[in-house]
Amino acid sequence: MPELAPPSPQSWNVSRLLEWATGFFRDHGIDTPRLDAEVLLAHTLALGRLELYTHYDRPLIAAELAAFKDLILHRARKRLPVAYILGQKEFWSLPLKVSQQVLIPRPDTECLVEAALARLPKGELPTPMRLVDVCTGSGAVALALQKERPHLEIWATDISEQALAIAAENSRMLGLEGIRFVHGDLLLDLPPDALPLHMIVANPPYLRSDEMAALAPELLHEPAIALDGGEDGLVTLRRLLEQSWLRLAPEGFFLCEIGHEQGESTRLLAAHLGYEDTTVLKDYGNCDRVLVARRP
């Protein structure tokens, strides 16, 4: 690795450092070299990304160069995702704390939020609607839904106590503290006062086990328990559909994120169990992304 701090640190300004870091990331096989360079340098200098271009000739002092170099090494050589390096990821315009105990929220998961909102009333009802977010992780989906529908009675479950601690911290940090977090296996540990449910949303593990060995280096830092869906990728979904049937109110909706090749198989699975109006929604890249089903 070339030395980041030459004898005269002032010769490393924002513009030159961005160009160098972009090339360094590209040489190390990073998919988004310019974006990652901008995000990490902006973080180092406590600037917005756009401000990098209004301060393009700003020189960096030795301490800033050293800090940036450390981030560069974590990204390029350890292939640590940028979100884990920064400890934060934005989802639904909410800044969420993330760590290697939770999946990094993806933009495509916002399709799950959109689908849920389209099936939820905007105003308050005479009796509260109960919703649970299963495999909540960082709490991204539950928090987005509470932000948009504050009148909902929302529960969130996860089998990982560490993930739930992060979700609860995000809830406090954002001032969205109406969510009740439950440690447990899918829906099995929900208390009686959470039932019956009017909607279930979930982003369960859905990769096939044989896909796990071929993951991109960045994904190897994410919790395997939140990715590995078993032999065919649908092991957790089958269990969740069965548990949901027993806990959904009549006319209640089940919505679940799925893999891009799982649309037809998951739709048929839900229909076989008795769900109606089963459909698969596409994501922003026109791939299968959300299974929607209704309990008759």
Count of domains observed in the chain:
2
Q: What is the pLDDT of residue 3?
A: 45
Q: What is the pLDDT of residue 123?
A: 79
Q: What is the pLDDT of residue 9?
A: 53
Q: What is the pLDDT of residue 126?
A: 73
Instruction: Tell whether 84 is covered by a domain.
Output: no
CATH of the domain at 184: 3.40.50.150
Tell me if 105 sits within 8 A of 138, measured CB to CB. Answer: yes
Residue 143 belongs to what domain range?
Answer: 92-294
Sheet with 153-158, strands from edge to edge, namely 180-183, 153-158, 130-134, 197-202, 248-257, 288-294, 276-282
Instruction: Tell whether 2 is covered by a domain.
Output: no
Is residue 208 domain-shared with residue 68, that is, in the same domain?
no
Q: What is the pLDDT of residue 164?
A: 98
Q: What is the pLDDT of residue 22?
A: 96
User: Rounded to the nearest 10 degrees, what angle do helices 140-148 and 110-118 cross at?
Assistant: 40
Retrieve residue 224's tokens: 């395997």
Instruction: Tell whether 85 is covered by a domain.
Output: no
Instruction: Tell whether 25 is covered by a domain.
Output: yes
Is residue 55 domain-shared with residue 99, that is, in the same domain?
no
Q: What is the pLDDT of residue 67?
A: 94
As a whole number of angstroms, the distance between CA 251 and CA 234 comes to 24
Is residue 193 domain-shared with residue 67, that is, in the same domain?
no
Q: What is the pLDDT of residue 128?
A: 83
CATH of the domain at 54: 1.10.8.10
Phi-psi region of 282 (alpha: psi -120 to 50; beta: other; left: phi over 0): beta
Is residue 58 domain-shared with residue 170, that is, in the same domain?
no
Instruction: Tell whether 83 is covered by a domain.
Output: no
Question: Any alpha helices (H) in 161-206, and if so which ranges?
Answer: 161-174
Tell me if 190 sits within 8 A of 131, measured CB to CB. Answer: no
As a whole number of angstroms, the distance between CA 158 and CA 105 comes to 15
Q: What is the pLDDT of residue 140?
A: 98
Is residue 274 domain-shared with residue 143, that is, in the same domain?
yes
Is residue 107 domain-shared with residue 66, that is, in the same domain?
no
Is residue 169 domain-shared with residue 44, that is, in the same domain?
no
Instruction: Tell whether 281 is covered by a domain.
Output: yes
Instruction: Tell whether 3 is covered by a domain.
Output: no
Q: What is the pLDDT of residue 11?
A: 76
Q: State which of 78, 110, 134 marks the end of a domain.
A: 78
Q: State which of 31, 47, 78 marks the end of a domain.
A: 78
Is residue 219 domain-shared with residue 190, that is, in the same domain?
yes
Is residue 14 domain-shared with residue 96, that is, in the same domain?
no
Is residue 54 domain-shared with residue 158, that is, in the same domain?
no
Q: What is the pLDDT of residue 19?
A: 94
Q: Is 38 exposed, middle or buried (0-12, 13-18, 19+ CB in 10 A)?
A: buried
* Predicted confidence pLDDT, tens digits, the chain (296 residues): 344 444 345 578 999 999 999 999 999 999 999 999 999 999 999 999 999 999 898 999 889 999 999 999 999 999 999 999 999 999 999 999 999 999 999 999 999 999 999 999 987 777 789 999 999 999 999 999 999 999 999 999 999 999 999 999 999 999 999 999 999 999 999 999 999 999 999 999 999 999 998 899 999 999 999 999 999 999 999 999 999 999 999 999 999 999 999 999 999 999 999 999 999 999 999 999 999 999 99
Is residue 59 domain-shared with residue 177, that is, in the same domain?
no
Q: Which residues contact 289 (CB under 8 A, 6 or more apart)?
A: 108, 111, 112, 257, 258, 260, 280, 281, 282, 283
Q: State which of 78, 106, 135 marks the end of a domain.
A: 78
Tell me if 282 sits within 8 A of 262, measured CB to CB. Answer: no
Is residue 114 domain-shared with residue 73, that is, in the same domain?
no
Q: What is the pLDDT of residue 10?
A: 53
Q: What is the pLDDT of residue 150?
A: 94
